[in-house]
Amino acid sequence: MIRTWARGGVRAGAARARRAFVFVLPGLWVLGVVAWELCRPTSGQLLQLLAAAPAIACAGTGRRQCVLLGGVCALLALVPFGGVEAGAGLGTRMVTCGAILAVIGASYLTAGRRLRLVRELERTREVAVAAQRVVLRPLPRRIDGVLLAADHLSASEGAEVGGDLYEVVGTRHGVRAVIGDVRGHGLEAIGTVAAMLGSFREVVHDEPELGDVLRRLERSHQRHLRERAGEGQPPGGGESVGRLAEEFVTLLLLQVARDGSVTALNCGHPWPYRVACQAVAPVAPAEPMPPLGLFPLPEELSAVRCGRLRPGEGLFLHTDGAADARDAAGEFFPLAQELRSSVEAAAAPCGPSPAGVVGEVREALLRHAGGRLTDDVALVMLSNDRVRVPARSAGTTPPSARLPR
């Protein structure tokens, strides 16, 4: 957090420096032209360059500075410099003054249109950010004894949500999580992301088995694709089947029970990493099924057991955009190595902090890719923070039984 504040302070200082430079630049331009005319008189010919000052002021500062500085430049254009008589070169000075006034008018109108467009862009961006946060809403810090942290990086400039999805929900069956990757990235995939997350948030409370949750997600995905294709009935063949078959989603469903046992269903998604005592190891208990939408799900779906999370241990989930990120030399991002370094950096007596691990991996990923991502990235970490309560012996009387009647 301290590093974030420091980076924010540096960016704010750089922005103030740029604004100050742009504000001073038109004045320096005018002083330079006038000084040159005083030192080496050109009979007012060089004063024509004063017409650029109002345009610079409008582009960098605002309309008030444009009018003020333009008026000063227009007056300076009428002044005879270098000992020239007042009548000599009057026509040239009048033409220069007229040109400056014309530039003032054009720059004023252009700056007004630019300001209106900037305000509309800011409002549109606020609406887009609010809508994106509804689709991919921030996770709480803790759910039913499980610490959470997540982050998302979109490959589309200006977007906060792309083709990756994640959600963690506390249910009576345990803490259930989903992470997935929709075919494609950026703004085009948001519709499928919204459909999958909306379905997951509803069915995760109703279905006691992960297999039934996955089947409901498959039906929701098929219904969404039919609606997108403008069809009111299941596809019967031809071109529509091929078009719908190209739209698939990789999904990883996880369930962390109250005793820490983890079960999962994987449809073509990377398996998570287990984080335990500063040790990082990949979890790969079984071969993943095909991505959702490519082929029908098998008739029997049984969740895969992934062991048990002891207090302080966690799972690090990610999409393939993290492992596939490349640097300028074409080298892949060493996710496992950076994850180990992040776990060591975020070490704590009760286990590594999920927020610290996710933040460290994010920063390392951006450094490796130079800030340029070719695919969306989602990072999620769950850590068991439940306190282990020792079991009572058979002869121990519960405290409530010893209360006076």
CATH of the domain at 347: 3.60.40.10
Whether 404 is covered by a domain: the verdict is: no
Q: What are φ and ψ of residue 123, in 5° steps?
A: -65, -40
Q: How confident is the model at residue 127 (pLDDT cuts 50, 70, 90)?
A: confident
Torsion of Cα atoms, 356 then 316 then 150 then 255, to 10°? -130
Whether 161 is covered by a domain: the verdict is: yes
Q: Considering its fold, how many domains does the chain have in total?
A: 2
Higher confidence at residue 97 or residue 248? Answer: 248
SS3 of residue 148 by DSSP? strand
My answer on whether 147 and 38 are in the same domain is no
My answer on whether 255 and 299 are in the same domain is yes
My answer on whether 92 and 163 are in the same domain is no
Whether 402 is covered by a domain: the verdict is: no
pLDDT digits (tens, 9 = 90+) for 336-394: 999 998 888 777 666 688 999 999 999 999 999 988 888 889 999 999 987 654 444 44
My answer on whether 267 and 379 are in the same domain is yes
Sheet containing 174-182, strands listed edge to edge, beginning at the edge strand earlier in sequence: 164-171, 174-182, 249-256, 261-267, 304-308
pLDDT digits (tens, 9 = 90+) for 35-52: 776 676 655 566 666 666
Quote the domain boundaries for residue 48: 16-129
My answer on whether 255 and 171 are in the same domain is yes
pLDDT at 201 over 70: yes
My answer on whether 230 and 344 are in the same domain is yes
Check: pTM over 0.85? Answer yes or no: no
Whether 38 is covered by a domain: the verdict is: yes
Give how far Cα 378 sits from Cα of 135, 149, 361, Å.
14, 11, 11
Give how far Cα 133 sits from Cα of 128, 129, 159, Å.
9, 6, 11
Whether 159 is covered by a domain: the verdict is: yes
Strands in 242-362 per DSSP E: 249-256, 261-267, 273-276, 279-282, 304-308, 314-318
* DSSP, res 303: P
Whole-number pLDDT of residue 338: 92
My answer on whether 227 and 243 are in the same domain is yes
Query: Please, what is the average pLDDT of the chain?
Result: 77
Whether 390 is covered by a domain: the verdict is: no
Whether 345 is covered by a domain: the verdict is: yes
Burial pattern 299-325, b for ≥16 Cβ within 10 A else e, equals eeeebbebeebeebbbbbbbbbbbbeb
Higher confidence at residue 68 or residue 354? Answer: 354
Lowest mean pLDDT among 115-129, 246-260, 359-373: 115-129
Collect all residues with Cβ–Cβ distance below 8 Å to 143 and sequence separation of at least 6. Answer: 168, 169, 170, 175
Lowest mean pLDDT among 85-89, 243-247, 385-389: 85-89
Average pLDDT over residues 163-185: 90
Find out whether 317 and 272 touch, Cβ atoms under 8 Å: yes
* DSSP, res 51: G
My answer on whether 123 and 272 are in the same domain is no
